Amino acid sequence: MEAGKRYKIACIGAGNVGASAAQYCAEMELGDIVLTDIVEGMPQGKALDLTEAGPIRGYNSVLTGTNDYADIEGADVCIVTAGLPRKPGMTRLDLLKKNGEIITDICENIAKHAPNSTVVTVTNPLDVITYLAFKKLGFPAERVVGMAGCLDSARLRSFVAMELGVSMKIVDTMVLGSHGDDMVPLPEYTTVSGIPITKLLPQDRIDALVERTRKGGGEIVQLLKTGSAYYAPGASAARMAQAIIRDEKQLLPCAAHLTGQYGLDDVYIGVPVMLGKKGVERIVELDLTDAQKDALHNSAGEVREGIKGLQEAGIL
Ligand code: TXD
């Protein structure tokens, strides 16, 4: 963190996750925040509403809303949540193409107006979209990183804490792989004050918590009936922005560009990443069991399928 510098965070997509990320960034006073969306008035309204919460919550971030990408000029971090939800009758591939077009347009604008920023992608399908963003932005891979593992691990951490009746603050975990059903949780790296949960819980309970994490997004969708999770996703994106802006060198699970690590090349997938002011400053390679390695490779296979879909559609 440079002394005296005011940082700027652009939340591109001011829907549920984007606005929630903006709120958490403001609460942590990470910098000034620009909410951007195609819907006229909505980002402006949310920015004003969040500004009016400032005196009560005691933050001094300046929040603005806009429909004009020129306003993201000079952003240090761009959090990209823009996209469309899947509509009835739409296949996964239809959604990928639609969101692929949206992300392509956004990346052109980020490259033009915030060429030195670090980009945190959130839009689904996360790993494929992050790869697309990396290709379209033309930024070094260090400055393009995807948010999913932070959320998946936060879910597992909260489930473990609830199960054991301990504070969430003392539960830590690492979740690898792509976002969704193909995630690869690592129970032996899931600890309570340093004690692996494999020593605290029977295998069937660990399996149940891992399964609940895998389906974590769906559980919320079912309860909400309309829309999907946004508090924890927003908090996770803000957590990554915090690690970057404050140069924390935090080890967080993030979608990063692999170039041979874990035996995978030229794909984005969730791995432990050291996040600091340069973005992805290091990718940590853990010793995995053969089953975990296979699961990670399966996960990467799914991501490659998505990338192929974008290539066939002429988007990549
Ligand atoms: O772990 C993760 N990565 C995720 C991902 C966790 C939760 C949500 N995840 C995905 O994030 C979700 O599947 C979506 O793809 C995004 C955003 O979810 P959110 O719940 O915030 O969706 P909303 O509320 O529909 O917001 C999307 C906004 C909406 O306001 C649109 O008007 C806007 O995106 N949008 C655009 N903004 C700017 N520019 C363009 N072109 C654009 N198109 C749509």
Q: For the segment 55-79, what is each residue's pLDDT rounded down to a tens digit?
A: 999 999 999 999 999 999 999 999 9
CA distances from 235 to 22, 111, 120, 232 (A): 9, 25, 13, 5
Work out the average pLDDT over 268-297: 96
253 lines ligand 1 (CB under 6 A): no
Task: Check if the beta carbon of residue 245 is closer than 8 Å to that of residue 30.
Answer: yes
Pairing type for strands 32-36 and 8-12 reads parallel
Work out the average pLDDT over 82-110: 92
**Atom 42 of ligand 1: nearest residue by CA position:** 82
Work out the average pLDDT over 218-236: 95
Task: Check if the beta carbon of residue 65 is closer than 8 Å to that of residue 48.
Answer: yes
Is 80 exceeded by the pLDDT of residue 48?
yes
Rounded to the nearest angstrom, the distance between the alpha carbon of 278 and the centre of ligand 1 is: 26
Ligand 1, atom nearest to 42 Cα = 30
Task: Tell me how many degrees the CA angle 251-252-254 measures, rounded to the nearest 5.
Answer: 135
**Atom 2 of ligand 1: nearest residue by CA position:** 148
Neighbours of 168 (CB within 10 A): 13
Is 90 exceeded by the pLDDT of residue 19?
yes
Q: For all residues of the chain together, what is the average pLDDT?
A: 96
Work out the average pLDDT over 199-207: 97
Q: What are phi and psi of 275, to 5 degrees?
A: -100, 130
- Just list the catalytic residues: 179
The predicted pLDDT at position 204 comes to: 98
Rounded to the nearest angstrom, the distance between the alpha carbon of 203 and the centre of ligand 1 is: 36
Rounded to the nearest angstrom, the distance between the alpha carbon of 14 and the centre of ligand 1 is: 8
Work out the average pLDDT over 200-220: 95
103 lines ligand 1 (CB under 6 A): no
Ligand 1, atom nearest to 124 Cα = 15
Is 80 exceeded by the pLDDT of residue 1?
no
Work out the average pLDDT over 220-233: 94
d(CA 129, CA 123): 7
**Atom 18 of ligand 1: nearest residue by CA position:** 17
What residues form DSSP beta bridges with 176? 184
Is 70 exceeded by the pLDDT of residue 304?
yes
Confidence band (pLDDT; 50, 70, 90) for 87? confident
Work out the average pLDDT over 194-211: 96
d(CA 207, CA 174): 15
Ligand 1, atom nearest to 105 Cα = 41
Q: Is the pTM of this model over 0.85?
A: yes
Q: Which helix (H) or strand (E) holds 191?
A: strand 191-192
d(CA 148, CA 268): 12
